[in-house]
Amino acid sequence: MLGNLDLSFFSWDVLGPFVTKGFIFSIWLTIVATIGGIVFGTVLALMRLSGKPFLEIPSAAYVNTMRSIPLVMVLLWFFLLIPFAIGRPIGAEMSAIITFIAFEAAYFSEIVRAGIQSIPKGQVNAGFALGMSYGQNMKLVILPQAFRNMLPVFLTQTIILFQDTSLVYAIGAYDMLKGFETAGKNLGRPVEAYLLAAILYFVMCLGLSWIVRRIQLKVQIIR
């Protein structure tokens, strides 16, 4: 089997025209979904920790619902329902961006909530003793420490997110995996295409995991 591989296929000159566009979109989707997911997830986490039922109940329902549904199904829902709701198509790429932000926010929300709850109560009470409001205490005392503690987990979730970008094939978006698939079909070498895609995903995720580990060690030293 390995002897039948066409090694000339393992060249960026051959794959570049097919893969570059998808690679850029996969990276872009990962970055945008991470930033959007953290921002939206932080809002959800604060709602759940507010102690107010009219904020806590809907945020908890949203998080639990999203975490209970496969991502590929959420992708299909957004891809089919959003154009129906607004009366015009928005494209597979935009559907993927909206879906990933909405979906990942549920996971980032739980990370943020755990991070906030990890801050000792003494520091929270000290902020209130200094006359800070809830918002000031959260902004100046709690969240800076919580985000520092959460950084390795954020990055780990981002790696998982990057891997999940390959699911956008279900709605026809042109991601990195789609680029390799297109190259394999057009050049008649599907085995080499999927093998190289697997290698690239592995190398990128392994490298990012190593970076996360280094950051985690530094965060532990700071503590």
Residue found under tokens 């957004």:
78
182 CB contacts (<8 Å, ≥6 apart)?
Answer: 18, 22
Residue with more model confidence, 28 or 132: 28
The least confident of 2-11, 93-102, 153-162, 184-193 is 2-11
In this structure, what are the phi and psi dihedrals at residue 172, rounded to the nearest 5 degrees? 85, 10
Which pLDDT band, with edges at 50, 70 and 90, does 7 fall under? low
Grouping H, G, I as helix, E, B as strand and the rest as coil, residue 213 is helix
CATH of the domain at 197: 1.10.3720.10
Q: How many domains does the chain have?
A: 1
Q: What is the mean pLDDT of residues 159-178?
A: 92
In this model, does residue 1 exceed pLDDT 50?
Answer: no
In this model, does residue 29 exceed pLDDT 70?
Answer: yes
Q: What is the mean pLDDT of residues 169-193?
A: 87
Which pLDDT band, with edges at 50, 70 and 90, does 130 fall under? confident
In this model, does residue 10 exceed pLDDT 90?
Answer: no
In this structure, what are the phi and psi dihedrals at residue 201, rounded to the nearest 5 degrees? -60, -45
**What is the pLDDT, as a whole number, of residue 188?**
79
Which domain covers residue 99, as residue numbers? 2-222
Residue with more model confidence, 30 or 13: 30
Q: What is the pLDDT of residues 109-119, one digit of tens each?
A: 999 998 888 88
Give the separation between CA 55 and CA 153, rounded to whole angstroms: 25
Give the chain's end-to-end CA distance (angstroms, integer). Answer: 52
Q: What is the mean pLDDT of residues 5-29?
A: 81
What is the model's pTM? 0.87
